[in-house]
């Protein structure tokens, strides 16, 4: 069966550009998570959705980061006016219910020049 | 100090060796996860533990809630086990959904 997919897999952006990263969770999964992973570090929580509701966005590093999941399935993480420190792998994960096993996508590697 | 500490940070083993990776955490948790990350970023969930011990093939995970410590063991290691192994905890306080991750243990198994 299909797992979590993310697109694009790689993105190079010039400083100041806006980027949009897409996540397609496993069909029927209620919970969706976004994480940021800097080189050589473990992932760090960004935000969490239960269906279309964004229940926790405490990990978003600044107001340049915005996430949505309007129909409770596909989610988009948008970064406005990208900065070099935004360079990282952005991981999406979904789970059937909130506290169950999370299934991770392959990530989007963002490089801001 | 990070809430989740892993040791060692890097580990090289020969094929067939028994491997142990340790994870210590400083907060009360409802669950602990062991994850495997291969080059290129893909993360696979290996175990989710709240007590005791779990086994899957050559992998064994244990947790001691009182000591706030977990171990991941790999028996009869193989080069295909080479990956980064990450420990993550779900804290009791705060948002139930939020996982806190360790920085990972990079394992290389050689022939």
Q: CA-CA distance, A28 to A66, in Å (whole number)?
A: 23
Say which of A42, A48, A106 has its CB closest to residue B101: A42
Contacts of A7 (CB under 8 A, 6+ apart): A21, A22, A24, A108
- Beta-bridged to residue B110, according to DSSP, are B14
Q: Do B96 and A99 touch (CB under 8 A)?
A: yes
Give the number of residues written for chain B. 111
| Mean pLDDT confidence for B6-22 | 97
Q: Which of A13, A76, A86 is nearest to A47 (CA)?
A: A76
pLDDT band at B93 (very low <50, low <70, confident <90, very high): confident
**Residue B59: pLDDT band with limits 50, 70, 90:** very high
Residue with tokens 């996508």: A105
More confident call, B95 vs B34: B34
Whether B96 contacts chain A with CB within 8 A: yes
User: From the list A40, A89, A103, which residue is nearest B41 (CB)?
Assistant: A89
CB-CB contact of A90 with A27 (8 Å):
no
Q: Cα-flanking dihedrals φ and ψ of residue A82, to 5°?
A: -55, 145
Residue B41 has pLDDT above 80, yes or no: no
User: How far apart are the CA of B41 and the nearest CA of chain A, in angstroms?
Assistant: 6
Q: What is the pLDDT along chain A (113 residues), one digit of tens a residue?
A: 589 999 999 999 999 999 999 999 999 999 999 999 998 889 999 999 999 999 999 999 999 999 999 999 999 999 999 999 999 999 999 999 877 888 999 999 999 99
Average pLDDT over residues B8-30: 95
Contact status of B42 with chain A (Cβ, < 8 Å) = yes
Q: What percent of chain A has pLDDT over 90?
A: 88
Q: Which residue in B has a C-alpha nearest to residue A5's C-alpha?
A: B42
What's the confidence (pLDDT) of residue A1? 54
Region of A72 (left: φ > 0; alpha: ψ -120 to 50; beta: rest) is left
Answer yes or no: is pLDDT of B14 > 80. yes
Given this model, what pLDDT does residue A84 score?
96
């Amino acid at each position: 069966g299909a797992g979590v997919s993310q697109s694009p897999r790689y993105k190079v952006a010039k400083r100041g550009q806006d980027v949009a990263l897409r996540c397609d969770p496993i069909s029927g999964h209620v919970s969706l998570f976004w994480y940021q992973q800097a080189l050589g570090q473990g992932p760090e929580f960004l935000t969490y959705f239960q269906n279309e509701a964004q229940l926790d966005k405490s990990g978003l590093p600044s107001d340049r980061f915005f996430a949505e999941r309007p129909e409770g399935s596909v989610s988009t993480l948008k970064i406005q006016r990208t900065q070099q420190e935004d360079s990282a792998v952005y991981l999406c994960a979904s789970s059937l219910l909130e506290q169950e096993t999370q299934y991770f996508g392959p990530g989007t590697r963002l490089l801001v020049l | 100090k990070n809430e989740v500490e892993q040791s060692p940070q890097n580990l090289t083993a020969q094929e067939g060796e028994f491997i142990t990776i340790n994870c210590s955490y400083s907060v009360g948790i409802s669950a602990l996860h062991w994850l495997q990350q291969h080059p290129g970023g893909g993360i696979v969930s290996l175990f989710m533990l709240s007590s005791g011990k779990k086994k899957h093939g050559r992998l064994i995970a244990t947790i001691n809630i009182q000591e706030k410590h977990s171990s991941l063991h790999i028996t009869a290691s193989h080069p295909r086990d080479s990956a980064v192994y990450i420990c993550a905890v779900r804290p009791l306080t705060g948002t139930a959904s939020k996982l806190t991750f360790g920085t990972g243990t990079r394992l290389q198994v050689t022939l």
